Structure 1
Amino acid sequence: MKGSAPPAKRRWRGPSVAVLVLVFCSLLVPFAFLFGRFPAGYVTDERPQKDFGFQSFGRLEDVKDSQPEARQPSGDENKMRTKIVPTLSKDFKENNVFQADGSLHKRSGNETGKDVMPTSKPQVPPTPHIATPKAVNDLHANNGQKNNKKRTAKGFNGDDTEKYCQLEFGSYCLWSIEHKEVMKDSIVKRLKDQVFVARAYYPSIAKLAGQEMLSRELKQSIQEHERVLSEAVVDADLPPLIGEKIKRMDLVTARSKSCTVDCNNVDKKLRQILDLSEDEAHFHMKQSAFLYHLGVQTMPKSLHCLSMRLTVEYFKSQPFALEHSHAFKFDNPKYRHYIIFSRNILAASVVINSTVMNSEVTGNIVFHLLTDEQNYYAMKLWFERNSYKEAAIRVMNYEELMLKNFHNIGLRHLYVSEEFRISIRNIDLPATKMRIEYLSIFSHSHFLLPEIFKKLRRVVILDDDVVVQNDLSTLWNLDLGEKVNGAVKFCGVKLDQLRMYLGKNFYDAKSCAWMSGLNIVNFEKWREHNITGKYLKLLQQFKITGEASLRESALPISLLLFQNLIYPLDDRWTLSGLGYNYEIREDAMKGALSLHYNGNMKPWLELGIPEYKKYWKKFLTREERFMDDCNVHP
């Protein structure tokens, strides 16, 4: 037939096509090996970030993921994987799992049934039975959604790390958790994370033969990132082409991970960088805690302005005769005398105002406000400008009284009630199981009160961080018997737990500590038991080397002198802990006769617990022009 091929040619056509297909396949297979995703003969530790405690951040919108998409392994890949896995050690296979895409996943402690050792350095547990005053201990300390933040902060319901943080940094941890904000500048954070990983791989890549170009690119990317981070602190400072740098770093890091390196070297480098980062974070945490406590104990700028403005105004204005009109009440024991130590004008004003506003009869109330020389004239002018119904208020310069009448004692400076942060634990329990308690106690100035007010028989001593919510008339009708000090006992701390501070003195180990804040004191029984004389003798037993040791001695002295002389008041008389405890119920606060804001978070500070401030602000004087001039708005 005309168009058909000869029989010989038709016989050779089939074999020739088969040869061409075979040649094509032989060329295709090497390319598949070069560019395909075949597993290499090494493994890497791809541990999740949560094992290190780092937060995960999303990628930039304009930067695509450089990692190839996951796919199902082929039959050849499975065969190769079975060849690699048996060569690994038994412990390694128990703690690691190969994923479908050939990557390695580190098992968690729950998956393997074994505990995973933390990568951070072990923390040294604090010394048991710590009891140091706030001024000393705090200045030398070694400390999602809104509902979740509150739940974590309240009552230390978080994990053991948060409890240990509270032990080391005090109430700073509570405040920092309560005021934690969503982290901004995530791009800067991502740059730092990329440098972190690149530094871990660079030493191993630099030692590999034939990877000089990759090593140079990795080093260049690290230097570029460090240059950017040295000039930019927030995302707004970053250059416009930062997305390209991030993408380039992702690519070079991915290439570094694909190289055959010694995993131990990378792991050691990562741990080294992690330890350095943890040490740096711990340093900044301690520094933040120090600055926090410094801010707590330093008078705010606005309150200092208020005191200075009132002092200047006192010498510019005409003298008032209001205090002289009540002079006959000051030494008359028939009246109800309240004594307050304070350097804070607003705090003293709230204590007095809350007591007066909740008293049915105010004509028989006398307040003796003892302050230091610096705030004396400001206090006088404030209480002369503001009236508190029919109550009489007497402002006294404590330092001047000491200089005139008690110059031989050597305690000239004013000391308000001391606060001690006490860490208590059983010696058999770990450090994270320690319990934090705040204890308020009489200061050295309190033991001289019967000598200052020689004609008075019974007084009520109020701390300046107390808010009175009810009439205290029934307090004056209590029969103290042979007791000297009526106080609320605090059995959360026993004297046996403070034995290292009480020394070799005799005391009842099972006796409870007591709290200052609201105390009714019988000066007649005080003088019969010679409490002041015993105080001066006991003070000589303690080695006083400076201001810090002097204030530390207030705790054992107060507890030892009033042994068996405390009249226990009912717990409803005062509710303590509003300066550090986040889990006080609102119904308990409303039912208490007085509220005690003991702790670091005072209500007149910005650091105060917001939920508790309203009870204090209710008695704050508002119509005072000096407060507006100094921008005083606690």
Structure 2
Amino acid sequence: MKGGYGGSSYSLATKRRWKGLVTAVLGLVFLSMLVSLVFLLGLHNGFLSSAGYATEQPSSATKHLRVYDQHSSADTRNESKRQQSAHVDDLIKRLVPPLPKNLGKNSVTEAENETDGLPIPADSPKLRQRRNNSGVAVTDDAGKDFRGADESEKLCELKYGSYCLWRRDHKEKMKDAVVKRMKDLLYVARAYYPSIAKLPAFDKLSHELKQNIQDFERVLSEATTDKDLPPQIEKKLTKMEAAIARAKSCPVDCNNVDKKLRQLVDLTEDEANFHRKQSAFLYQLAVQTMPKSLHCLSMRLTVEYFRSSLDLEQSLSEKVLNPELHHYVIFSRNLLASSVVINSTVQHTEESGKQVFHVLTDRENYFAMKFWFCINKYREATVQVLNIEDLKLNNHYKLAPLHLSLPEEFRVSFLRVDKLSSYQIKTEYLSIFSHSHYLLPKIFPTLKKVVVLDDDVLAQRDISDLWSLDMGGKVNGAVQFCTVKLGQLKKYLPRNSFSENSCAWMSGVNIIDLTRWREHNLTETFQRLVQEMSTEEGLSETTALSASMLTFRGLVYALDDSWMLSSLGLNYGHNEDALRTAAVLHFNGNMKPWLELGIPKYKSSWRKFLNLQNQFLSDCNVNP
């Protein structure tokens, strides 16, 4: 009995121990599954938040800067992860910093669609609107970034002139996009190929990359535009993109890829710098060369001059020598520009019979201008054309025949310190008398006063009031340009005493008192200054600027600013009120209104003083 009872008790105890162990194991398995499920559903955020811990959540900036690949689509996300508790959402809003306002445009490549989680292209209208609302970047429909436009325009204009602004406004839609895409892929493939080729395990990929590179090089050697590409080019693009994607996923040495990319970037930068310099040179060549249509016009008129039987040598002595009339002087080689100056001036005066225009040109354009102003009448005004080379005047700084020199334009740059003590380079444009202007008393010995007009101006109202001005003994009535002070031009005015706070003055519209000029011997003063500067430093481009500023020192009568609005050949920013109220518009700068590069919104004011129906203009296709 005892033995039977003891054996039964032992077996029961053993069963109880095994049952406890099984229960413990099952409990551990259940707990492990529960913990995994908690992390999988994201419920641990609530527990940690309630315990006083802040979890790392994606900020709004990270959300907008995140880049998705093709495999991170919305169907791979767990639906329960987006349905977190309100407590966790509130905590994130309190802890996550806002999007920085100074974030650059280049930092934003793709943004997540808030409705479906799909990526938005960086150039989409929706993303541009989002950037605009968030203060990141402001763009127009064409994708242009206007953030910091003023600074970039000034730097661009300082380095390459106004061509940068013209190029921006005339930028066309990118052509041959497929060819450019092929070049970009070839660029990346060449960067990865040397590193892939060193890995024996990727011989197949290396061979594929090499084959694609050779294939692209062969196609691009025969095709420069999209229409020249072979029909199967899309397949080649797909193969190249797939090979590059596989190469990017390989464990290559980043230093090798970086070195190759740097080499390619250096080559590309050198090529880009060459093309920028070439474009700047070609721009300067374009603005300084007479357009083909104007050259045709000059040649046609010259031929007609010698074929014509008109009396072109009619006597003008009575008016051209009468000092009581209003005499205007224009130095020009441009027939069309001179015609606009005269026509606009005559159209706005009530007494055109009192106006006499003296156009001084060179031998090359003399006959064309003489014929043009003979067959075209400007109400009752008188126009005299003079060949400056036939006046038997010697150049003032060397004994040689005088050649025509037009008003000279200078782009002056200097440092400016603003209120925040930061240095900036400031650029301004000045137009100054040339060497020919200082022979006015000798060219017109009987005249007492003249108004000198540049050939790139036009009158918008009667400028006859200039003749009644009392200049208080001054010689040159000019619009002062107080944005530039003589103290800022020290390097152009060597070793001379002058008032640093004196304003520079501009040519364009100048009332000249020839009587006072002769009394002060300004012609001789200018000649002496030019000779001294050319002896000490050699004749330079700034000689005329320096000598002009010093010659008229203390002899400039300041005209009211409303007389002339300058820089219409370089500044896009003039408002409509200033354009409408100015008595004279001055197109100083490179973008002259008769050039294709001229600023369109100003050219209309210039064109209305041309008779485009003229037979000679039509035959030469003159349509500025």
TM-score strictly above 0.5:
yes
**Aligned residue number for residue 504 of structure 1:** 495
Q: By how many angstroms is 1:602 displaced? A: 0.3
Equivalent position of 1:257 in the other structure? 248
- Out of 303, 311, 334, the position equivalent to 1:344 is 334
Contact 2:406–2:434, Cα closer than 8 Å, also in 1: yes
Matched, 1:328 2:292: no
Amino acid at match of 1:163: K
RMSD value, Cα: 3.2
Q: Is the 8 A contact 1:349 1:621 kept in 2?
A: no
Separation of aligned partners in 1, 2:614 and 2:535: 43
Contact 1:66–1:247 under 8 Å retained in 2 = no
| 1:586 correspondence with 2:576 | yes
Instruction: Extract unaligned runs of 5+ from structure 1.
Output: 1-47, 57-64, 76-108, 118-143
Write the distance in 2 (CA, Å) between the matches of 1:229 and 1:551: 46
- The one-letter amino acid of 1:518's match is V
1:222 equivalent in alignment to 2:213 = yes
Q: Give the direction of change, closer, same or farther, for the CA distance of 1:498–1:381 in structure 2 (3 Å limit).
A: same
Contact 1:163/1:432 (8 A) holds in 2 = no
**2:479 corresponds to which of 481, 488, 499:** 488
8 A Cα contact 1:337 1:460, kept in partner: yes
Aligned length: 509
Correspondence 1:448 to 2:442: no
Deviation per CA, 1:43-77: give whole Å up to 9, x if none.
xxxxx9xx9xxxx9xxxxxxxx99555578899xx
Cα 1:185–1:581 change in 2 (3 A) is same
The residue type paired with residue 275 of structure 1 is D
Contact 2:477 2:559 in 1 (8 A): yes
Q: 1:482 to 1:254 in 2, by over 3 A?
A: same
Counterpart of 2:173 (choices 159, 173, 182) is 182
For residues 491-549 of structure 1, the C-alpha deviation after alignment (integer angstroms, 9 at most, x for no partner) is 11111111111111111111110000000000011011110011111111123799x94
Distance in 2, Cα, partners of 1:178 & 1:74: 46
SS at match of 1:542: helix
Identity %, equivalent residues: 55
SS of the counterpart of 1:324?
coil
Equivalent in 552, 561, 569 of residue 559 of structure 2: 569
With normalisation by structure 1, the TM-score equals 0.75
Deviation at 1:258? 1.2
Q: CA deviation at 1:212?
A: 2.1
Q: CA deviation at 1:552?
A: 2.8
Alignment correspondent of 1:383: 373
Check 1:148–1:569 CA distance in 2 against 1; reply closer, same or farther (3 A cut). farther
Residue number in structure 2 paired with 1:470: 461
Query: Which is worse superposed, 336-345 or 618-627?
Result: 618-627
After superposition, the Cα gap between the structure-2 partners of 1:431 and 1:251, relative to the gap in structure 1 and judged at 3 Å, is farther
Q: Compared with structure 1, are the counterparts of its residues 504 and 613 closer, same or farther at alpha carbon in structure 2 (3 Å cutoff)?
A: same
**Does 2:549 align with 1:559?**
yes
> Could you tell me which residue of structure 1 aligns to residue 187 of structure 2?
196
1:479 matches 2:444: no
Q: Which has the larger radius of gyration?
A: 2
Q: Using a 3 Å threshold, how does the CA distance of structure 1 residues 575 and 161 change in structure 2: closer, same or farther?
A: closer
Distance in 1, Cα, partners of 2:103 & 2:77: 32
Q: Distance in 2 between matches of 1:579 and 1:111?
A: 36
- With over 3 angstroms needed to count, the CA separation of the structure-2 counterparts of 1:346 and 1:157, relative to structure 1, is farther
Mean Cα deviation higher: 233-242 or 260-269? 260-269
In the alignment, the residues of structure 2 paired with residue 628 and residue 302 of structure 1 have an alpha-carbon distance, to the nearest angstrom, of: 10
- Decide whether the 8 Å contact of 1:358 with 1:468 is kept in 2: yes
SS at match of 1:284: helix
Structure 2 residue aligned with 1:630: 620
Q: Partner residue of 2:389?
A: 399
Assess if the C-alpha contact under 8 Å between 1:370 and 1:397 holds in 2.
yes
Q: Which residue of 2 aligns with 1:527?
A: 518
Q: Kindly indicate whether residue 230 of structure 2 is the aligned counterpart of residue 239 of structure 1.
A: yes
Contact 1:67 1:254 in 2 (8 A): no
Determine if contact 1:572/1:592 at 8 Å carries over to the other structure.
yes
Q: In the alignment, which residue of structure 2 is the partner of 1:271? A: 262
Give a deviation string over 1:456-496, Cα, whole Å, max 9, x none: 11000000000001111211000112210000000111111
For the residue of structure 2 that corresponds to 1:438, the secondary structure is strand
Q: Considering Cα pairs closer than 8 Å and 6+ residues apart, tell me whether 1 or 2 has the greater RCO.
A: 1
Mapped partners of 1:621, 1:530: distance in 2: 43
Say if 1:484 and 1:565, in contact at 8 Å, map to a contact too.
yes
Q: Superposed, which structure 2 residues align to 1:41-56 within 5 Å?
A: none
Which residue of structure 1 lines up, in the alignment, with residue 292 of structure 2? Answer: 301
Q: Give the TM-score normalised by the residue count of structure 2.
A: 0.76
Deviates more, 1:261-270 or 1:500-509: 261-270
Report the CA distance between 1:426 and its aligned residue. 2.9
In the TM superposition, what is the alpha-carbon distance from 1:435 to its structure 2 partner?
2.2
Change in Cα spacing, 1:308 to 1:116, as seen in structure 2 (3 Å) is closer
Contact 1:425–1:431 (Cα < 8 Å) also in 2: no
What is the aligned partner in structure 1 of residue 532 from structure 2? 541
Deviation readout 1:318-358 (Å, 9 max, x if unpaired): 1425x634321111111110000000010000000000000
Equivalent position of 1:604 in the other structure: 594
1:488 partner letter: V
Distance 1:630 1:530, change over 3 A: same
Deviation at residue 306 of structure 1 after TM alignment: 0.5
Structure 1 pair 409/360, CA: closer, same or farther in 2 (3 Å)? Answer: farther
**2:505 is the alignment partner of 1:514:** yes
User: CA contact under 8 A between 2:397 and 2:531: conserved in structure 1?
Assistant: no
Give the SS at the match of 1:367. strand
What amino acid is the match of 2:459?
V
Alignment CA distance shift 1:264-1:163 (3 Å):
farther
Extract unaligned runs of 5+ from structure 2.
1-61, 79-98, 108-138
The answer to whether the Cα contact below 8 Å between 2:429 and 2:589 also exists between their aligned partners in 1 is yes
Tell me which amino acid in the other structure corresponds to 1:543: S
After superposition, the Cα gap between the structure-2 partners of 1:421 and 1:329, relative to the gap in structure 1 and judged at 3 Å, is same
Secondary structure in 1 matching 2:149? coil
Letter in 1 for 2:158: L
